Amino acid sequence: MKVTSDPLLSIKGLKTSFHTHDGTITAVDGVDFDVFAGETLGLVGESGCGKSVTALSVLRLLNPSMTTIQGRVDFNGKNLLDLDPEEMRMIRGSTISMIFQEPMTSLNPILTVGEQIAESLRLHEKLDNKKAWEKAIHMLEIVQIPSPEIRAGQYPHKLSGGMRQRVMIAMALSCNPCLIFADEPTTALDVTIQAQIIRLLEHLKKGSNTSIVLITHDLGVVAQMASRVVVMYAGRVVEEAPVVELFHDARHPYTRGLLKSIPVITQDKKTRLNEIPGIVPNLLYMPKGCSFHPRCSEAMDICKKESPPMIHLKKNRRVSCWLTSDDYGEN
Amino acid sequence: MLNFLLKRLLAIIPVLLGITLLLFFMLRMLPGDPAQVLAGQMASPADVEIIRVQMGLDKPVYIQYASFLNRLVHLDLGVSARTQNPVIEEIWAKLPNTVLLALCAITLACAFGIPAGVIAAVRPYSWVDYLVTIASLFGISMPVFWLGIMLMIVFSITLQWLPAGGIGTWKHLVLPSVTLAAFVVAFIARMTRSCMLEVLSQDYVTTARSKGLKEKAIIIKHALKNALIPIITVVGLQFGLLLGGAVLTETVFAWPGLGRLIVDSILARDYAMIQGSILIFGLLYTLVNLVVDLTYAFVDPRIRYE
Amino acid sequence: MNNIYINTKNNDIEPDEDVKSSSGRGWAKLKRNKAALMGGIFLLIYIGCALGAPILFRGDPSAPNLMDSLSPPCAKYFLGTDELGRSILGRILYGSRVSLMIAVGVVGVGLLFGVPIGLISGYYRGKTDFIIQRFTDMMLAFPGFLLALALVAILGVGLENTVISIGISMVPLYIRLVRGCVLTIREEVYVEAARAIGTKDRHIILRHILPNVLAPITVQTSLGMGTAILFAAGLGFLGIGVQPPTPEWGSMLGSARAYMMGKPHVATFPGIAIFLAVLSFNLLGDGLRDAFDPRSKI
């Protein structure tokens, strides 16, 4: 895996707000991170922390009349947020693609799976009907679907959940993208199928220089696939670290909480699984100060008043917590 | 597919039995002697007696019903008290006119209603959306017969572009079809809008967007095709409203169809004719619902392969 | 789950349940809905006309005055007169009483039979349900207006028979609606809990199920009143509904047809009255649905 110094994708100060009847909700609030060519970045957090919205914002898949997106998303020397809709459309599915969480609902029920793969090939690779169909079958083969010629002609309801997720992956890979956002690609699946899909993704990853942003709440998946991790909480980045460091030396109390709540098979049955008390704050009624303080066991007075600054410890290592600023505040 | 077809066909049988039962008891709910009722008030006692024996009205109810069914199967709907012609012949003469009018109206309604609904759903809360929403609300609130009269006043009496009534050329067809379509077009537009809104918020539409498809392809190929499934149901149900509306429209435009036949029969207390035309309306509606079910299977692969 | 954010078009992101109750949200939404507000105002004017007809129009709306027949709108007759020289304004005002009476009567019949039968059908299921459903199937095999027409053919013309005919033709719709709701509600945990502790069926139906069916029933009632007015006017127009000289909008239009050539005003105004009355119920019904029963369509 070669990691070049120039990032493939660079997100700076991304802020996404939804306009609803009850007010404006800021789902993503000043997110920065880079994705380098060929790497797998884990984007981690509980549901509702804004990690999916980040991906949808980058691809500009949110309804523009209901949302405002601010900040910069630099990709191949262009700010994606400045592109006109037509230019953006040509990037989607060809150089950046996305795998969605729900294989059951993300495929169109009344089109054959072959057609759903072939249509992007016809559009982006300018293949004719026959060639596109052949390539679609080939893609199904790549994602290890048995008898792909038959499967291509079938409708999604004939396929199992794992099979459908393979189709989604085939669709995302079909035009050789540089970057794939995989939004909880295994969450909706059975545990055994999850493992298969992860193995498949790893296998596909080996042969290519495609970068993956793996969006998940499952740190197990992250440990297996990602090289670097960005942790999000309530629309903000709270910590970033190479995957090994994150597991050994997490700085943010939230990250530590997440790590503690991973079930361990060998764990003594009597010990309770740890959980982080409380729930993710309602985005309409954000707490003052650090948004994590109501759930943080180590919260101090300042946490309730001011939100902590982002502290860059070294390359690819940053954390946003007052505890850390005490130790490293002088640097 | 074959299973589905068979199931649908079998499901029609109880409905048909229901229709015949309802019609059978209709005459018996009337005060007085059904034979007299069927023969008409002007009939002589001898005629009434003939009807009584002919219809088996002197026999027990279940035998009466069996012979009623038997006559239905042989397309014997009795004789009109008003014209003394067999009911089936009168209906047969008028049926094509009503079917023609209904088909024209439903085609018009789909041709305008579906695109209007799609456009409204694609730009929700825009001026186009408001226009469609308001227009369709007006459409469903307007009495069909009044709209017919108003169109007639404008286009036939004042502008003299189109004939005010009767049948013959395509020009005769314009005002009745437009009148009849107005109500249904509104319903279809509303339904299309709400179905499209729902479909457009589905995950697979986001998937389609993430593939970089053109907006037009997303709306037509991915969204509308899915939305068509419930829309077809509504179009089928609207056909019922359309048949009801046909009664009024045909009266307004003196269109010689089943609708006018039924009204004239009610006014003349021609019960054999009423029974016959209501039966045909029921059959027509059932047939349309069957066609809708089959179209379903055609559009939705989940049904096709089950 | 996060994809839900894309759906902000029609699903608001819900704040915590305890911040605002769902019916509170409903009322707030209803107040914001300008169309429903307009419907409400129209409806109040309409009811005002119906109640205040004798004050707003002095004299007998049915008494002919052949001297003034077919007069166009003028100072004496604001909306002109019909073929018998009766004030169209007066007949429309008194007609609003008739149509409102019909609307209330029809929906009354529909509710009286439809709701209890629907509750029983959905709650007990089994054979009762089967029989009731076949019966509704049978009635729904006919388009609504034709069913009303057939019933009129049996019962005869007149105000009462109009109400009964249209009312009965609407019963199957209420049965369907209520039964459908009950089928989902009876599976809710609180209903199961009530059953588990031995609550009587009657109590469960009245206390736990009925209140949850009220929202769709209210919506259907508002829309149903609009339909009732349209149907009644249709029957009146065909000459088989409310009979003259009772001032009924549909029959006014029916007799106006003969004078379309030179006197379009005779046909215009009663139609506008029907249109506005139906529109008010439809606007209100739409608003109620958006506010309280957002999942349903049409």
C13 to A18: CB separation less than 8 angstroms, yes or no: yes
Contacts of B154 in chain C (CB under 8 A): none
Q: Do A25 and C12 touch (CB under 8 A)?
A: no
- Closest residue of B to A101, CA-based? B203
User: Which amino acid is present at A248?
Assistant: H
Place of tokens 């029989």: C131
CATH code where residue A34 lies = 3.40.50.300
According to the model, what pLDDT value does residue B256 have?
92
CA A229 to chain centre: 11
Give the per-residue pLDDT at C79: 82
Give yes or no: residues A129 and A249 share one domain.
no
Question: For residue A230, what are the β-bridge partners?
Answer: A43, A240
Domains and CATH numbers, chain C: 49-58+74-292 (1.10.3720.10)
Same domain, yes or no: A42 and A156: no
Answer yes or no: is A295 within a domain. Answer: yes
Q: Which one-letter amino acid corresponds to residue A227?
A: S
Q: Which domain holds residue A306?
A: 9-95+177-263+274-328
B214 touches chain A (CB under 8 A): yes
Q: Left if phi > 0, otherwise alpha if psi is -120 to 50, otherwise beta: which for A173?
A: alpha
Residues A91 and A39 in one domain: yes
Write the Ramachandran bin of C158: left for phi over 0, alpha for psi from -120 to 50, otherwise beta: left
Q: Name which of A61-65, B87-91, B105-109, B213-217 the model is least confident about.
A: A61-65
Do B215 and B264 reside in the same domain of the chain?
Answer: yes
Number of domains in chain A: 2
**Are residues A48 and A110 located together in one domain of the fold?**
no
Q: Model confidence at C104, in pLDDT bands (50, 70, 90)?
A: very high
Q: Are residues A136 and A120 in the same domain?
A: yes
Measured CA to CA, the distance from residue C159 to residue C100 in angstroms comes to: 12
* Per-residue pLDDT at A89: 92
The CATH number linked to B149 is 1.10.3720.10
pLDDT for residue C296 is more than 70: no
| pLDDT score recorded for residue B84 | 84
Mean model confidence pLDDT for chain B: 86
A74/A149 same-domain check: no
- Average confidence (pLDDT) over C134-156: 86
Contact C254, C237 (CB under 8 A): yes
Could you give the percent of chain C with pLDDT greater than 90?
A: 34
Put the strands of the sheet holding A23-36 in their side by side order: A23-36, A7-20, A67-75, A78-79
Closest CA to A293 of A249, A218, A229, A238: A238
For chain B, positions 175-234, list CB contacts with chain C under 8 A.
187, 190-191, 194-195, 197-198, 200-201, 203, 206, 230, 234
pLDDT in the model for residue C281:
94
Q: For residue A51, what are the CA distances in angstroms to A32, A72, A109, A168? A: 12, 16, 27, 20
Task: Find the distance separating the first CA and the last CA of chain B, reported in whole Å.
Answer: 6
Q: How confident is the model at residue B164 (pLDDT cuts 50, 70, 90)?
A: confident
- CB atoms near residue C205 (< 10 Å): 20
B5 touching C (Cβ < 8 Å): no
CB proximity list for B90: less than 8 A, separation 6 or greater: B80, B83, B261, B273, B276
Residue-level length of chain A: 331
What is the number of structural domains in chain B? 2
The verdict on C126 touching A (C-beta cutoff 8 Å) is no
Query: Could you tell me how far CA A65 lies from the centroid of its own chain?
Result: 24
Do A213 and A83 lie in one domain? The reply is yes
- Range C19-23, long-range pairs (CB < 8 A, 24+ positions): C23/C292
Last residue of a domain, one of A149, A176, A203: A176
Lookup result for tokens 């009925």: C210
Same domain membership, residue B256 and residue B112: yes
Q: Is C54 on the interface with B (CB under 8 A)?
A: no
What's the pLDDT at C164?
94
* Complex-level ipTM: 0.86
Asked if B196 and B231 sit in the same domain, the reply is yes
Chain B CB contacts of A97 under 8 Å are: 210-211
Q: Report pLDDT for C8.
A: 33
Report residue A273 as tokens: 């699984």
pLDDT at C12 over 60: no
Contacts of residue C164 in chain B, CB cutoff 8 Å? none
Residue C113's pLDDT is what?
95
Q: Are C219 and C296 in contact (CB under 8 A)?
A: yes
Same domain for B38 and B186, yes or no, is no
The 10s digit of each residue's pLDDT in B9-40 is 887 887 888 888 888 887 777 766 777 777 77
DSSP class of C240? S
In a domain, B1, yes or no: no
Same domain, B47 and B144: no
How confident is the model over C154-160, as a mean pLDDT? 89
Alpha helices in chain A (DSSP H): 51-58, 85-91, 103-106, 113-124, 129-142, 148-152, 161-173, 191-206, 219-225, 243-248, 253-260, 301-305, 322-328
Any idea which of B73-87, C67-81, C172-186 has the lowest mean pLDDT? C67-81
Q: Are residues B154 and B211 in the same domain?
A: yes
B176 shares its domain with B277 = yes
Q: What are phi and psi of C275, to 5 degrees?
A: -55, -50
The Cα C75–Cα B93 span in angstroms is 51
Residue A26 sits at the chain C interface (C-beta within 8 Å): no
pLDDT band at C294 (very low <50, low <70, confident <90, very high): low
Q: Are residues B226 and B129 located together in one domain of the fold? A: yes
3-state secondary structure string across chain B: CHHHHHHHHHHHHHHHHHHHHHHHHHHHHCCCCHHHHHHCCCCCHHHHHHHHHHCCCCCCHHHHHHHHHHHHHCCCCCECCCCCCEHHHHHHHHHHHHHHHHHHHHHHHHHHHHHHHHHHHHCCCCHHHHHHHHHHHHHHHCCHHHHHHHHHHHHHHHCCCCCCCCCCCHHHHHHHHHHHHHHHHHHHHHHHHHHHHHHHCCHHHHHHHHCCCCHHHHHHHHHHHHHHHHHHHHHHHHHHHHHHHHHHHHHHCCCCCHHHHHHHHHHCCCHHHHHHHHHHHHHHHHHHHHHHHHHHHHHCHHHHCC
Task: Say whether both A223 and A320 belong to one domain.
Answer: yes
In which domain, by residue range, is B204 found? 95-305
Give the SS3 label for residue C103: helix
Q: Are residues B69 and B125 in the same domain?
A: no
Same domain, B40 and B156: no
Which residue of A lies nearest to B301 if distances are taken between CA atoms?
A: A110
Whether residue A62 is contained in a domain is answered as yes
B12 in a structural domain? no
Residue pair B285/A92 in contact (Cβ under 8 Å)? The answer is: no
Between C25 and C19, where is the model more confident? C25
Residue C165 confidence (pLDDT): 94
Whether the per-residue pLDDT at B292 is higher than 70: the answer is yes
- Same domain? For B172 and B219 the reply is yes
Per-run averaged pLDDT (10 residues), chain A, 331 residues: 71 91 85 92 88 92 88 91 91 92 88 93 93 94 91 91 91 91 86 86 85 90 91 91 90 88 64 71 78 85 87 88 63 39
- Cis upstream peptide for C270 (omega within 30°): no
